[in-house]
Amino acid sequence: MTDASPLAIDVDGTLTDGQGAIDHRTLPALREWPAPVVIATGKSMPYPIALCHFVGIEGRVVAENGGVVAVADTDTLQFQGDREAARAVTDAYVEAGYSLGWSEVDFVNRWRETEIAVAREQPLEPLESIAADHGLEVVDTGYAYHVKSPDVSKGKGLEVVAGELGLDPAAFLAIGDSENDVSTFEVAGEAVAVANADDAALAAADRVTEAAYADGFFEAIGLDPA
């Protein structure tokens, strides 16, 4: 891939430091990248849209693990998935005596359109069982358990963004750290997992960086982070 390849980049664990904060060095790198940049995340849409805004790049976003796609260039906003079905799963989970694990206000889910996230400190097996009963799945991003429709993925979201931009998904360099990035890795032309990635992302990547977190991002794109 050349330095001008369009990028599809995860946020948590990829643009962040080991404590979960955005590494400030990544912001000018994203702003100055000479090809389209797509932010692909499990977070709800306001987070990556705000990131694009404050970085100073066009809002090209795949959010909620593919459930939400936004492309400012073409004034596109698409939703895939069934939030009500996901809510039925988490309601049943709570009725069974478990908790979503968030505060009462629940900023994690407040703006979600297509899925529901559960804290990783909560029991996974009963959540997966209830989700399966409802025809849904649970994806572990390393930061939360996401209850979602099985036909929704970051990879499909990237295909939509690429189509809106008139690009082939195979033109993209995808960088990530989690099993929810595997589908992106599968459609991109080159896939790079940062060193802190989980086993699923490591197995799906074309290459793995020696450095972790944001330092791995810089290694993946061939830039000096200094």
What is the residue type of 104? Answer: E
d(CA 15, CA 25): 9
Q: Is 10 annotated as a binding residue?
A: yes
* CATH number for the domain harbouring residue 112: 3.90.1070
Q: Is 17 annotated as a binding residue?
A: no
Q: Are 177 and 205 part of one and the same domain?
A: yes
Q: Are 89 and 144 part of one and the same domain?
A: yes
Residue 178 has pLDDT above 60, yes or no: yes
d(CA 148, CA 207): 28
The DSSP letter of residue 180 is G
Residue 175 host element (H or E): strand 173-176
Q: Are 136 and 34 part of one and the same domain?
A: no
Task: Write the secondary structure of 75-111 as one string of H (helix), E (strand) and C (coil).
Answer: CEEEECCCHHHHHHHHHHHHHCCCCCCCCCCCCCCCC
Q: Are 183 and 137 part of one and the same domain?
A: no
Residue 1 lies in a domain: no
Of 195, 188, 189, 186, whose CA–CA distance to 215 is shortest? Answer: 195
Residue 226 lies in a domain: no
Domain that holds residue 71: 7-79+152-221
Q: Are 112 and 133 part of one and the same domain?
A: yes
Q: Are 107 and 211 part of one and the same domain?
A: no
Read off φ and ψ for residue 3, nearest 5 degrees: -65, -20
Indicate the number of domains in the chain. 2
Q: Catalytic: which of 3, 10, 17, 206?
A: 10
Residue 16 lies in a domain: yes
Residue 216 lies in a domain: yes
pTM, full prediction: 0.95
Q: Are 197 and 89 part of one and the same domain?
A: no
Residue 90 lies in a domain: yes
Q: Is 23 annotated as a binding residue?
A: no
Mind listing the pLDDT tens digit for each residue in 40-85?
999 999 999 999 999 999 999 999 999 999 999 999 999 999 999 9
pLDDT in the model for residue 2: 46
10 is catalytic: yes
Among 148, 167, 188, identify where a domain stops.
148
